[in-house]
């Protein structure tokens, strides 16, 4: 099972782009505090809705998704990056949106346990 629920603050501006395959992606970093230390997590949102959530650096977000480790070539070496691939994103003030994404995460956990 690979389920992530992450709450934090955007520590970078979201960057939107379209890959040659036609996939639209939005990337940003989310900062969280764990054991008094600030941790930054890279996030990718594939094909965000046309009316994507208006988020900017400094905004608080809650997201549901999966963890992925991606391998790529750079400078003749194989490198990797661990990131969260968001499936749903909401601002903490959007109670309905947060409730939906938590219900989806709970549903996936229940399905895996069955």
pLDDT per residue as tens digits for the range 22-40 = 999 999 999 999 999 999 9
Query: Interior CA angle at 15 toward 11 and 20, to 5°?
Result: 145
Contacts of 70 by beta carbon, 8 Å cutoff, 6+ apart: 80, 81, 82, 83
Q: What is the pTM of this model?
A: 0.86
pLDDT of residue 49: 85
CATH class of the domain whose range is 4-113? mainly beta
User: What is the percentage of the chain residues whose pLDDT exceeds 70?
Assistant: 98
pLDDT of residue 52: 65
The pLDDT-based confidence of 9 (bands split at 50, 70, 90) is very high
Task: Count Cβ neighbours within 10 Å for each residue of 56-86 and write b for 16 or more, e otherwise.
Answer: eeebebbbbbeeeeeeeeeeeeeeeeebbbb
- CB–CB of 64/88 below 8 Å? yes
Tell me the average pLDDT of the chain.
92
């Amino acid at each position: 099972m690979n389920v992530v629920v992450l709450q934090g603050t955007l520590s970078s501006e979201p960057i939107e782009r379209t890959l040659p395959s036609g996939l639209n992606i939005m990337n940003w970093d989310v900062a969280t505090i764990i054991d008094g230390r600030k941790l930054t997590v890279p996030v990718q949102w594939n094909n965000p809705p046309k009316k994507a959530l208006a988020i900017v650096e400094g905004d608080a977000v809650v997201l549901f998704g999966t963890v992925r480790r991606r391998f790529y070539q750079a400078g003749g070496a194989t490198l990797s990056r661990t990131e969260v691939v968001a499936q749903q994103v909401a601002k903490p003030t959007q109670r309905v949106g947060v409730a939906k994404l938590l219900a989806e995460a709970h549903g996936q956990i229940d399905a895996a346990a069955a």
